[in-house]
Amino acid sequence: MTILHDSYDVRIKQEPVTDDESRRPPRQQKSFEPPGTNRRNPRDREEKPQQWGKQTEKDKPKEEPVEKEKPNFGLSGALLKDTNTYKGVVIKYSEPVEARKPKRRWRFYVFKGEQELPMYQIHRQSAYLIGRDRAVCDLPVDHPSCSKQHAVLQYRLVDYKRDDGSTGRRVIPYVIDLGSANGTFLNNQKIEPQRYYELRENDVIKFGFSTREYVLLHEDSANNVGPVGNYEDDGVEIKQEPVEPTKK
């Protein structure tokens, strides 16, 4: 059997030879991977998804809690000079927000050894400045060991719990030393400066090295009403003091 082959005239297109590199097709570059890359784990090479939009509160890093500033009863520099000046003298003390005038009529009975000195009525104001500077102090003390502004008797409205578990409010006297040179003594114990100390009936206060003793009593002390912690100041009846006629 004879197989006949058809012949075909095939023409081959000749392209011009050129040295122009711009007309050559680009070569595919192999990607370089650093040693140690695991081809079998493509997830290891995946980058973390970027977050778009506004950051929410949950996404923000947690900040460490900042410790609150503790109360400071010391001087406040230039601010104190502008707001607490009396008769041209800078007062070292500012009353707290809980300052109140007492309803009970408290008194200072003053003794120098066996000698009884004039009594001080200390219920007409919410605070009494004690010191050697008579121009600004409410209760002057003339002993040279006392500072010009030595201490303060301060009445404060505070909360307390009754015996039945309920709560109430009352005005209680406190004493605070203003950083005096020779200190303030409560019942012969030196108190820390710039700190309030609660006072009770029959407490004895001394300032510096003065021998004068200031005994805290009130109008009902002779009737044995009890210590300051056993009554509620809000329920005390206010007695009106007689008004002296003005002299013409």
Instruction: Pick 208 or 29 by higher pLDDT.
Output: 208
The predicted pLDDT at position 221 comes to 83
Q: Which domains does the chain have, with CATH numbers?
A: 95-235 (2.60.200.20)
Q: What is the pLDDT of residue 244?
A: 45
> What average pLDDT does range 177-181 have in this prediction?
96
Question: Can you list the pairs that 34-37 forms with residues at least 24 positions away whose Cβ atoms lie under 8 Å?
Answer: none
User: At 224, is the pLDDT very low, low, confident or very high (cuts 50, 70, 90)?
Assistant: very low
φ and ψ at 187, to 5 degrees?
Answer: 55, 45
Sign, CA dihedral 43-48-53-56, equals positive
Return d(Cα 227, Cα 124) in angstroms, integer: 21
Of 42-56, 180-194, 228-242, the range with the lowest mean pLDDT is: 228-242
Is residue 120 within a helix (H) or strand (E), and if so which, with residue range? strand 115-121
Cβ neighbours of residue 190 under 8 Å, at least 6 residues apart? Answer: 183, 184
The reported pLDDT for the residue numbered 83 is 62
Looking from the CA of 201 toward its CB, the CA atoms found within 13 Å total 18
Residue 50, pLDDT > 70, answer: no
The pLDDT-based confidence of 6 (bands split at 50, 70, 90) is low
SS (H, E, C) 151-181: EEEEEEEEEEECCCCCEEEEEEEEEEECCCC
Mean of pLDDT values over 196-208:
97
Give tens-digit pLDDT for 13-42: 565 555 555 556 666 555 555 555 555 555
User: Which amino acid, one-letter code, is at 164?
Assistant: D
> What is the Cα gyration radius of the chain?
44
Predicted confidence at residue 236, as pLDDT, reads: 41
pLDDT classification of 90: cutoffs 50, 70, 90: confident
Mean of the per-residue pLDDT values for the chain? 76
- Inform me whether the pLDDT recorded for 198 exceeds 50: yes
Q: Which of 200, 216, 211 is nearest to 128 (CA)?
A: 216
